[in-house]
Amino acid sequence: MMTQPFDYSGRTVFVAGGTSGINLGVAQAFARAGASVAVLSRTPDKVRSAVDELGEIGVTALGFAADVRDYDAVSAALTTAQQELGELDVLVSGAAGNFPAAAQSMSARAFAAVVDIDLKGTFNVLRAAYDHLRKPGASVINISAPQSSIPMDLQAHACAAKAGVDMLTRVCALEWGPSGVRVNAVAPGPIEGTEGMARLAPTPAMEHIVTDSVPLNRYGTAQEIADCCLWLASPQASYVTGAVIPVDGGWSLGGASQVFTAMRNLFNATP
């Protein structure tokens, strides 16, 4: 068995959107490294099952059923997490929504739904968490996406929202640096077994288009995203703030910009 290179025992981690996929993988990695972990998402069953899985690792786990679009609910969850677990050492903000849709046919409410969850939700989580972060020493990690810097067909909502997440990351890094709080983002590439890729590449043909466009020719894993987060929140990354780090097999070097154009016909959408 591989030895755990990071020790988060005695630390507290809060993962917004941490009940499935990549973010649950991140929550589990911090738990395996010894941290107490709290997760938040909308669906009570997902929250219960994530808390059970985290508890089985042998750490204290808390769960909150709340929508990141509801500032008061997010704030109440963070207050309770601090009361139960102590000041937050690590905050991960990763709640997001996505579906393929052309800008010209997407409703205003569809665009708003993604911006409200991804961007305004991230602001809500960071704003509500600030008072509960350990200062100095806390680390904030936003989960971004290649869409934040690369225009992609059928992704107007996610591109706009995640670009905002990256800029929020940089502004908060500026403002919170003097308090000793580091703020960074990780931008995963296409990750296997996730809801995101099930929505954006739902057929084997589409999966092939994606893997062909990734220089490393494969999907990544949630563990590979978690490994970056474990490092980013650790003392080994103590001079890193305001960074948006791609963990994407090189996808953002060029392939990501073409892949959705190639997939447009497969989705039968014609922007």
Nearer to ligand NAP, 35 or 259 (CB): 259
Nearer to ligand NAP, 121 or 164 (CB): 121
Q: Which of 190, 246, 249, 255 binds ligand NAP (CB under 6 A)?
A: 190
Both tokens of 201, joined, read 């590449």
* Binding at 35: pick from ligand HXC, ligand NAP, none (beta carbon under 5-8 Å per type): none
Least distance from ligand NAP to the Cβ atom of residue 4, Å: 23
Angle of CA points 185, 186, 189, to nearest 5°: 145
Instruction: Give the binding range for ligand HXC (CB under 6 A) out of 8-16, 102-110, 175-183, 223-231.
Output: 102-110
Does residue 113 belong to the site contacting ligand HXC (CB under 6 A)? yes
Does residue 17 belong to the site contacting ligand HXC (CB under 6 A)? no
Residues 28-47 that bind ligand HXC (CB under 6 A): none
Instruction: Give the binding range for ligand HXC (CB under 6 A) out of 90-98, 120-128, 171-179, 211-219.
Output: 90-98
* Binding at 95: pick from ligand NAP, ligand HXC, none (beta carbon under 5-8 Å per type): ligand NAP
Does residue 98 belong to the site contacting ligand HXC (CB under 6 A)? yes
Q: Which of 12, 21, 64, 245 binds ligand NAP (CB under 6 A)?
A: 21
Q: Which of 12, 23, 75, 211 binds ligand NAP (CB under 6 A)?
A: 23
Residues 150-169 that bind ligand HXC (CB under 6 A): 158
Least distance from ligand NAP to the Cβ atom of residue 268, Å: 22
Does residue 231 belong to the site contacting ligand HXC (CB under 6 A)? no
Q: Which of 12, 10, 28, 23 is nearest to 142 (CA)?
A: 23
- Cβ atoms of 148 and 188 closer than 8 Å: no
Could you tell me which residues come within 8 angstroms of residue 96 by beta carbon, excluding any fewer than 6 positions away?
17, 114, 117, 118, 121, 143, 145, 158, 161, 196
Both tokens of 25, joined, read 């993988």
173 to 192: interface string for ligand HXC, x by CB under 6 A: -----------------x--
Report the alpha-carbon distance of residue 206 to residue 258 in Å, rounded: 13
- Cβ atoms of 180 and 187 closer than 8 Å: no
Site for ligand NAP, rule CB under 6 A: 17, 19-23, 41-43, 46, 67-69, 94-97, 117, 121, 143, 145, 188, 190-191, 194-197
Site for ligand HXC, rule CB under 6 A: 96-99, 101, 106-107, 109-110, 113-114, 145-146, 158, 190, 195-196, 199-200
